[in-house]
Amino acid sequence: MEDSIVFYIEQNRLPFEFVINKASTYHDCCVAIRSMQIRGAGAIGAMAGFAMALASLSASRDAVWNHAEDNLPNDYNASLRAARSEIEATRPTAHNLFYATKRVFDAAMRSPEEAITEAQLVADRDAADSKKIGEFGNSLIHDGARILTHCNAGWLAFVDFGTALSPVYMAHQSGKNVFVYADETRPRSQGARLTAWELFQEGVPHVIIPDNAGASLMAQGKVDMVITGADRIAANGDTANKIGTLEKAIAAHEYGIPFYIAAPTSTFDPGCASGKDIVIEERNEEEVLFQEGPDAYGVMHRILVCSPGSHALNPAFDVTPAKYITGYITEEGVTPKSPEGDLLRDAGTPKSLKGDWEDKTA
C-alpha cells in the first residue's frame, strides 16, 4: 500500500502524443485535476476518489496511533479533512468530484484499507454506468443518424465507455451508420483534440466543426440529434456542462431537434435546487489568449492568438435550463424531463436518486 500509485492518461498531450503519467500522492492528483491533465466528469470523480485514498494512506503513516483505543487518531482525522478540502477545491463545478470524495472520505474514516476499496468501487461503477448509458442511448439512435456533440464525454472523460459518446460507440458497433459533428470546444479544444481523436480511434465517421457552426447546420436540416455530457445536474433538471452547450440547446429547441444529456446518476445533485445554485468555474484567461500545438517537426509551441494587450473572460461552464432538454440518459434508462420542470420530484426520477431527494427535502 505504501507504494500505491495512480496511473492516468495525460490528456493535455493528446492527440499529438499518448503519455501515461502517475500520481503517488494526493497532491499529485490535485495538480492533475486542476491542470486538466485529467478532465471529464467521471475521470475527475475517479481521480478524486483515488486522491482521497492516497491521502488516507499518507495520514495513516503520519498519525500517532494508540492501539488501546478504537477511535482513529485526531491527527489522522485532521489530515484527512484538510486533504478533502484541498481535493474539492480543484474543480468546483463537477459534482462527480464531490460525490467520489465524500464516499472515499467516509470509508477512510473507518480505515485506509476501506478507502482504497471504496475508491476502486467508485472507478468500477463509473465504467459500468457508462456502458449502461451507451446501451440505453443506442435505442434513441436510428440508422443514418447525424449527431452533434460538444466537448468530450467519451472514454477519455470517464474510466471507460463515456457518456455522450457511449451511445454513439454502441450504435456504431451494432452496425448502424452514424455520423458525428464534433464541436471544437474553445478555448481548450476538447472536441477538436479529444473527441475527434477518440472517434478516429473507434472508426466512427465524423468531422470537426467550429463552435459557431452548429445552429447553421441545424437550420439546414443536417443534424438529427444532440447528445452532450454534464458536469452537474440540479434538482430541477438544469444542467451545467462545458461552455457553449447552452447555445446548442437553444438552437436545437428552435429547430425541433432532440437534445439529450447523458450522465450517470452520480452527476445529479439533489442538494442543488436549480442551475442558479451551480458554481461556475472561472479559469485563467491565458487559455483563451494562447494556443498550443506541434510544428512540422513535432516540437510543441505556445503562441499568442489574440490581440496583444487585451484581456479575456474564461468561464469553463454554462447552464442549460431543463426546458431545452429532451431527456436524460442514465445507467437506469432514459428519463424525460418533467413537465413541471422539477426533475427529481418527477415519477421518472432514477431510482438511485429518490432516497437522496427525500433526504435533502425532509
pLDDT of residue 157: 96
| Alpha-carbon gap, residue 182 to 196, rounded angstroms | 7
d(CA 287, CA 293): 13
62 is catalytic: no
118: nearest Cα among 130, 127, 107, 126: 107
For 274, counting Cβ atoms within 10 Å of its Cβ (0-12 exposed, 13-18 middle, 19+ buried), the class is middle
- The domain ranges of the chain are 6-129, 134-146+170-178+219-361
* Nearest alpha-carbon partner for 305 in 186, 182, 197: 186
What SS3 class is residue 283?
A: coil
* Assigned CATH class of 6-129: mainly alpha
Neighbours of 331 (CB within 10 A): 22
Question: What's phi and psi for 185, nearest 5 deg?
Answer: 65, 65
CB proximity list for 82: less than 8 A, separation 6 or greater: none
Between CA 27 and CA 25 the distance in angstroms is 5
Interatomic CA distance for residues 326 and 349, integer angstroms: 14
* pTM for this predicted structure: 0.89
Rg (alpha carbons) of the chain, rounded to whole number = 21
Which portions of the chain are predicted below pLDDT 70?
Answer: 1-3, 62-73, 337-362
pLDDT digits (tens, 9 = 90+) for 37-56: 999 999 999 999 999 999 99
List b or e across 34-67, with b for residues whose CB sees 16 or more CB atoms inside 10 angstroms: eebbbbbbbbbbbbbbbbbbbbbbbbbeebeeee
Distance CA 222, CA 113 (A): 53
Among 28, 129, 211, 231, the one annotated catalytic: 231
Instruction: List, for residues 100-115, the tens digit of each pLDDT value.
Output: 999 999 999 999 999 9
* pLDDT 10s digits, 54-90: 999 988 876 655 554 456 667 888 899 999 999 999 9
**Predicted local distance difference test score (pLDDT) of residue 336:** 80
Cell numbers linked to 28: 499529485
State residue 1's pLDDT score: 38
Cell numbers placing 319: 447552464
Contact 328, 334 (CB under 8 A): yes
- The topology (CATH level 3) of 134-146+170-178+219-361 is Rossmann fold (3.40.50)
Quick one: cell of 291? Answer: 494556443
Predicted pLDDT at 275: 96
Grid cell digits, residue 200: 478516429
